[in-house]
């Protein structure tokens, strides 16, 4: 009797876990009607590749329905979408390891002359604000437009907990949302933008943030990080 009970309990728990993973990387009927598309199927790295390569490096794995940066020594680098995007609403869930650092980088241009995605693409910071050294630097905290604009509010959850981020790009008008709160708002490519970039660490990168369209990348900053429920809805 006890064996039957334990077996049934195991099946129940396994089923709940499987359904939970599937729910994280699926679209509702409403989302489908609104034009949302999944960028991650929860099972593979299909649709993604490592920057300046033709496929996803082995450092990026899929574990428990999440894109995970492992501690592998080979096949490292930022992971980016195969396709490019310009005007869109993009959502993603992320969690970071204790004292970890990563980021979501957009408008990335791919070319051998660029050594990294951040040479061309601005970044929404992913960070453990409690103990990573960057947390002590203004404009380097979770949710910030990295090195350019600080979040208006701190809504990030502790390391190991899932956060929901959203980036809206609408003809140069940008919004960052973190856990349901708009934290950053700005306009790209106007005079104020150019002045702000000129006063940042990116001033020595001539092609930084010049493009209005590009790949979306997940940063390999050397720390374990997890991403899931990656979706996009292109805007007209």
Q: At 96, which CATH number?
A: 2.60.120.560
Q: Is residue 14 part of a domain?
A: no
The pLDDT-based confidence of 13 (bands split at 50, 70, 90) is: very low
- pLDDT over 90 at 55, yes or no: yes
Q: By residue range, what is the domain housing residue 134?
A: 27-234
Q: Is residue 20 part of a domain?
A: no
Task: Flag whether 19 is in a domain.
Answer: no
pLDDT of residue 70: 87
Structural domain tally of the chain? 1
Q: Is 8 within a domain?
A: no
Beta strands per DSSP E along the chain? 37-38, 48-50, 60-63, 66-69, 79-81, 88-96, 101-108, 123-127, 163-170, 173-178, 181-187, 215-218, 225-234
Q: What is the pLDDT of residues 128-180, one digit of tens each?
A: 999 999 999 999 999 999 999 999 999 999 999 999 999 999 999 999 999 99
15 assigned to some structural domain: no
Partners of 164 in the beta sheet? 93
18 burial type by CB count under 10 A (0-12 exposed, 13-18 middle, 19+ buried):
exposed
**74: how many CB neighbours lie within 10 A of its CB?**
7
Of 8-17, 115-124, 158-167, 208-217, least confident by mean pLDDT is: 8-17
Rounded mean pLDDT of 199-218?
Answer: 98
More confident residue, 14 or 155: 155
What is the arithmetic mean of pLDDT over 77-87? 98
pLDDT attached to residue 71: 81
Question: From its phi and psi, is residue 212 left (phi > 0), alpha (psi between -120 and 50) or beta?
Answer: alpha
């Amino acid at each position: 009797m006890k064996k039957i009970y334990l077996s049934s309990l195991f099946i129940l728990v396994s089923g709940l876990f499987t359904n939970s993973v599937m729910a994280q990387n699926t679209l509702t009927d409403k989302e489908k009607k609104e034009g949302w598309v999944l960028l991650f199927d929860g099972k593979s790295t299909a649709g993604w590749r490592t920057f300046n390569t033709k496929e996803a490096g082995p450092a990026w794995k899929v574990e428990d329905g999440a894109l995970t940066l492992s501690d592998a020594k080979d096949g490292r680098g930022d992971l980016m979408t195969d396709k490019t995007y310009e005007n869109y609403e993009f959502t993603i869930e992320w969690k970071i390891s204790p004292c970890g650092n990563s980021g979501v980088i957009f408008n990335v241009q791919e070319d051998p002359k660029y050594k990294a995605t951040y040479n061309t693409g601005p970044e929404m910071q992913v960070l453990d604000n409690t103990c990573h050294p960057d947390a002590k630097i203004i404009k380097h905290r979770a949710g910030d437009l990295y090195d350019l604009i600080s979040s208006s509010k701190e809504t990030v959850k502790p390391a190991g907990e899932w956060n929901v981020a959203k980036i809206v790009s609408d003809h140069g008008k940008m919004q960052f949302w973190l856990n349901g709160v708009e934290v950053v708002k700005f306009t790209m490519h106007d005079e104020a933008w150019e002045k702000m970039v000129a006063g940042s660490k990116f001033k020595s990168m001539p092609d930084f943030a010049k493009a209005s369209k590009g790949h979306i990348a997940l940063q390999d900053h050397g720390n374990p990080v997890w991403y899931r429920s990656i979706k996009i809805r292109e805007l007209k």
